[in-house]
Structure 1
């Protein structure tokens, strides 16, 4: 149901009145939720594994909001079954990482701030911050202006105090309300064909259409889609300049994309390949083999081990009693 709620943002009746533009590419979408009972660990905190499920939901909200028009184009409609003779469209997860800074208590409300960090010829990188609810107030709601509260005007003293607080937060390495940070690497697919993120931006009306430039060598896994989706070389973000008025804004988008790409290198191909090479396989010895306690078989094995442990303790207790010689 959580995924369906996010995917409903692709429906025309659920889209914002004003479609997103290139000035909103790096702005986050906030998803509000809380820690349910089934996601609590032994410490009465949100279990670490459940963070990744939340990241899946947050990604779906952002992708279905930003790329609703592009998704409709690739699927041939917005319904569950469009009937269009087009390959199956999907957004596949290539890699994900999550760092934990503070705990979330049972039934505590929190927010998922998810935005585009960067993209290249194949991958789009999304960053999600887990934020305690109420600790951060957005400066403005640009895509849904009706959500902007009627904030009271601050007095001169309050304004100075607020400015000092914001300045102190800028110096800190992280906002105190952030409890965890996740980075996701995703790829758009039409069947087995890779769709460059730049094409999705353009089909969604977020970036200007492709300009007439000299074709370049396409990247791996993108050669089959170059004629349909345009160039997708790693040095080209897919941004085209139409006029001088847009140039400064588009340049800022490209600079932010390049800056975010440096941050996203931790999920880049070279880093992940180095981790894959750490697999020893059959070249080195192993400690042994354990069975996971999943299913009915796992329950039976767990019960057998508990019974064996209890009988072992009983044997130890009886061995501590004094023994008498046999006649």
Structure 2
């Protein structure tokens, strides 16, 4: 009888321990990700409603609107300092980014895959995480509630760049506090073929038709022995005239980090000029046509310019060893 009581008490302790650490149990990460996928599986009808809602209410275009998840840090996520361990931030980022990428890439995805196969691109379709950078600003205490907010910053011919922020929600008259910030980049693949983000977003219905006088970024095949160029090149001893990075209209060169501010102004002026010539009118401040989306895309890439260039510099530094 005593042994049965002891077993029952240990079982109770185990159940309670599992419940208060539910987020960290085996396979919990998989359940969380699949839940986010199914909960945010968008259809073309969802896309149409989201775009119409933003156009009538003068909101930010849905492509640049953030998505949020809320979570807490259980005991099994804490380190010896009794706050959230830095390694566990990446599991939360997976969940947040899955919410975002599912929303943007699932609409009309079956038709997109069929179109690629008709063009001769075979193999598995995959959305691959290229790299993550995270900065920790303030601690997250055990079981403290926090928000992970992610949004698309921009995209080039290969990468979709995402910004994410861990936030302590506003409470008791206090403003919200940024606890950590992160940059990530994704690439979409069909076998060895890189599908450009522009193509993905256009197929999904998020991007409006591109004007004929603007260049289009296309996917490209990569050899496994070659590393792709970063979206924005680092400053070299001689200014680069290569325009293979950012897909800008009329051959505008991708800006280097040191020229970010000046280049952004030049690009915006160029885009506004093209919009005026194409439509014969100034773009309404509340209207998100292709030109305004393009301006915001390039502005977002400028935020991540140095980080994108650093990726290539780290590879080059490794090659020197």
Same fold, judged at TM 0.5 (above):
yes
TM-score (structure 1 length as normaliser): 0.59
Q: Is structure 2 residue 292 aligned with structure 1 residue 262?
A: no
Would the aligned equivalents of 2:155 and 2:197 in 1 still touch at CA under 8 Å?
yes
Would the aligned equivalents of 1:195 and 1:222 in 2 still touch at CA under 8 Å?
no
Rounded Cα–Cα distance in structure 2 between residues aligned with 1:107 and 1:215: 50
Matched residue, 2:65: 27
Matched residue, 1:179: 179
Q: CA deviation at 1:66?
A: 2.2
Q: CA deviation at 1:221?
A: 4.4
| Aligned residue runs from structure 1 range 154-193, under 5 A | 177-193=177-193
Rounded Cα–Cα distance in structure 2 between residues aligned with 1:246 and 1:204: 27
Question: Which fold has the larger relative contact order, with Cα–Cα distance below 8 Å and residues 6 or more apart in sequence?
Answer: 1
Larger radius of gyration: 1
Count of paired positions: 229
Query: Which residues of structure 1 form unaligned runs of 5+?
Result: 77-84, 137-161, 166-174, 224-231, 284-327
Rounded Cα–Cα distance in structure 2 between residues aligned with 1:222 and 1:209: 27
Matched residue, 1:66: 104
3-state SS of 2:207 partner: coil
3-state SS of 2:304 partner: helix
Rounded Cα–Cα distance in structure 1 between residues aligned with 2:147 and 2:83: 16
Would the aligned equivalents of 1:70 and 1:200 in 2 still touch at CA under 8 Å?
no
Residues 187-244 of structure 1: per-residue CA shift (max 9 Å, x gap): 1112221111111111111111344347679686489xxxxxxxx962338x997856
Matched residue, 2:293: 253
Rounded Cα–Cα distance in structure 2 between residues aligned with 1:195 and 1:6: 23
Q: Is structure 2 residue 33 aligned with structure 1 residue 3?
A: yes
TM-score (structure 2 length as normaliser): 0.60
Rounded Cα–Cα distance in structure 2 between residues aligned with 1:194 and 1:200: 11
Rounded Cα–Cα distance in structure 2 between residues aligned with 1:217 and 1:194: 11
Would the aligned equivalents of 1:218 and 1:233 in 2 still touch at CA under 8 Å?
no
Rounded Cα–Cα distance in structure 2 between residues aligned with 1:220 and 1:11: 27
Greater share of helix residues, 1 or 2?
Answer: 2
Query: Which residues of structure 2 form unaligned runs of 5+?
Result: 1-30, 52-59, 115-120, 224-243, 250-270
| RMSD of equivalent CA atoms | 3.7
Would the aligned equivalents of 2:157 and 2:217 in 1 still touch at CA under 8 Å?
no
Rounded Cα–Cα distance in structure 2 between residues aligned with 1:114 and 1:57: 10
3-state SS of 1:20 partner: helix
Q: CA deviation at 1:33?
A: 1.3
